[in-house]
A and B are shown apart, each in its own frame.
Chain A
């Protein structure tokens, strides 16, 4: 299944192995020689999203805004699953944290960007504190613990009702601006801002993954205890990855809250964290383009479906999508895209080589 688009080098009319070796390895490992292709594809996709969003109808634009916002959270989840091979079910919890902290800051009269920075830093700090014990766990236990956190946060929001408004909720103030652009709603400028933030985070993720940081992380994720034997301080690196994931979730949470306009515990249910995980698995855990695809999938499909089936039943589609993605192997949609590109490229190269 994993080499379906790359023919067997032993066959007579085969592609020369050397032609496909580096790109093929890069497709499978998620790192390596395809970095610039990945950055290029990512930026092209971001451009396409902005184009479709600005020229399309407002409902689609709103869906894309939510989608790219969730893609930022998926990017964080990708770091945990792709690099450390763990499951994080707490992205929704950190999104809630970021969103509520930001609005509480706004109520004190701060500017939007001040509230954004402070809420991200505080959430990252909380994420680091939570990550110190969480990183000592492995496998299904991290899934359990993060799942428990996702359950606990809506109740905590209700508990601290003096600050958070509890069940009644907290409205997001009007008239916010960021670098002169209006914040919130379904403004094309707001979509542009979110896409730019996503693109920056995504390119940063790609550069980190393909460089030395990525090499260390993959050693930890795939090698486990062996990495300690090679002198890698895995605890520190693991906490760093979880903190990065929490910070991205906080950014996503702030944008999510600002777009929806009103925060209640129901905005951040356990299902949100599960959706982010579906985005990670479907898109491809080591892929930034996959994060964009996964995020847009979970952001745009539920509203579109609501005319056909009741909102609660979108689980049917997402459950099915998750299962199909798992059956197809761990690379996700991005893997198919990259394999096709590498295959076509290798055919072209072979054609040119035979012609010369």
Chain B
């Protein structure tokens, strides 16, 4: 059952990638109440900058750092200057603003660097080890370790660090939190900064596989959305679990049915989960006041 093994393994690897893409979305959702459709485009800005640095001869470490820093700055600028001011009108406006920023960035990229695919360096090349007939790349191993590390750190930070607890308070009830002295604006900017870093990390693992174009990270974002919805927005572990479920099912569908049905399966999964367990598998059901 080589096909099954390969599909399962690829599913786990890509699933963790989706979970990583989703992590940045969770951060912004928890502090601002909307989903940022611009995550992929913020990642693309950093990745293109790093690409040109790499072309100019920079080693991978520098490329890596350039991506992270550029994405963090871009995310801060996008969040602080554009989305947060518009987001004061309401969550729907905030979501629309991220759509606007996303297509604006894509347009600028299309106009300046064009949309022909470019190869992007991977963390490492070569095969780490073989499991039966399936090869596991070293890059995948690094990716898995990084993803797990990121989630562990996020989980601890949300519980132990003051800033983490403050972010959760802001998400629960922004008005009360601010009355109690939680610096809302600063924390939201922090969440944008962190989401930029997470977007950069996700992008760094995605584009070596799929080549770099203005929309290469965006396409994965849909899977990231689904991962966090399935797993639950409230739960960091949920995003991991959701990612694995989405990754494995997408790869199984692609291997045993047809790749064209993957997006449909994704849509149906999203719909089903949102209907029967809207807060996700591991999330908490919110209470609403009428």
Report whether over half of chain A's contact residues are helix, strand or loop; otherwise say mixed: helix
CA distance A330 to B89 in the complex (A): 9
Which residue from B91, B96, B101, B107 sits with its C-beta under 8 Å from A277? B96
Whether A316 contacts B266 in the complex (CB less than 8 A), given A145-B274, A323-B101, comes out as: no
- Does B77 touch A at the CB level, under 8 Å? no
User: When the two chains form their complex, are residues B290 and A312 in contact, meaning their CB atoms are under 8 A apart?
Assistant: no
User: When the two chains form their complex, are residues A85 and B111 in contact, meaning their CB atoms are under 8 A apart?
Assistant: no
User: Which chain B positions have C-beta within 8 A of A134?
Assistant: 271
User: When the two chains form their complex, are residues A149 and B267 in contact, meaning their CB atoms are under 8 A apart?
Assistant: yes
Whether A316 contacts B107 in the complex (CB less than 8 A), given A145-B270, A151-B222, comes out as: yes
User: When the two chains form their complex, are residues A226 and B274 in contact, meaning their CB atoms are under 8 A apart?
Assistant: no
Instruction: Looking at the assembled complex, report how far the CB atom of A164 sits from the nearest CB atom of chain B, in whole angstroms.
Output: 12
User: Which chain B positions have C-beta within 8 A of A85?
Assistant: 92
User: Which chain A positions have C-beta within 8 A of B104?
Assistant: 315-316, 318-320, 323
Whether A152 contacts B107 in the complex (CB less than 8 A), given A225-B288, A326-B89, comes out as: no
- Does A87 touch B at the CB level, under 8 Å? yes
- Does A310 touch B at the CB level, under 8 Å? yes
- Does B217 touch A at the CB level, under 8 Å? no
Which residue from A143, A152, A320 sits with its C-beta under 8 Å from B35? A143
Interface-forming stretch among B57-65, B139-147, B150-158, B257-265? Answer: B257-265
The size of the chain B interface, using a CB distance under 8 A, is 47
Which residue from A86, A226, A309, A317 sits with its C-beta under 8 Å from B290? A226
Instruction: Looking at the assembled complex, report how far the CB atom of B89 sits from the nearest CB atom of chain A, in whole angstroms.
Output: 7
User: When the two chains form their complex, are residues A315 and B95 in contact, meaning their CB atoms are under 8 A apart?
Assistant: no
User: When the two chains form their complex, are residues A318 and B103 in contact, meaning their CB atoms are under 8 A apart?
Assistant: yes
User: Which chain B positions have C-beta within 8 A of A136?
Assistant: 274-275
Instruction: Looking at the assembled complex, report how far the CB atom of B9 sits from the nearest CB atom of chain A, in whole angstroms.
Output: 24
- Does B229 touch A at the CB level, under 8 Å? yes
CA distance A145 to B273 in the complex (A): 11
Interface-forming stretch among A6-14, A155-163, A288-296? Answer: A155-163
CA distance A211 to B106 in the complex (A): 42
User: When the two chains form their complex, are residues A326 and B107 in contact, meaning their CB atoms are under 8 A apart?
Assistant: no
Whether A147 contacts B96 in the complex (CB less than 8 A), given A312-B107, A313-B111, comes out as: no
Instruction: Looking at the assembled complex, report how far the CB atom of B182 sits from the nearest CB atom of chain A, in whole angstroms.
Output: 23
User: When the two chains form their complex, are residues B92 and A309 in contact, meaning their CB atoms are under 8 A apart?
Assistant: no
Which residue from A149, A318, A319, A329 sits with its C-beta under 8 Å from B105? A319
Q: Can you name the residue of chain B whose Cβ is closest to the Cβ of A141?
A: B274
CA distance A314 to B89 in the complex (A): 27
Chain A 132-151 interface 0/1 with B at a Cβ cutoff of 8 Å (1 = within): 01101101110111011101
User: Which chain B positions have C-beta within 8 A of A277?
Assistant: 96, 99
16 A-B residue pairs with Cβ-Cβ distance under 8 Å, sorted by A, are A139-B34, A139-B92, A141-B229, A144-B225, A147-B37, A155-B261, A159-B264, A226-B290, A312-B107, A312-B110, A316-B111, A319-B106, A322-B96, A322-B103, A323-B100, A326-B93
Which 7 pairs between the two chains have the least Cβ-Cβ distance? A319-B104, A315-B107, A316-B107, A313-B111, A322-B100, A312-B110, A159-B260
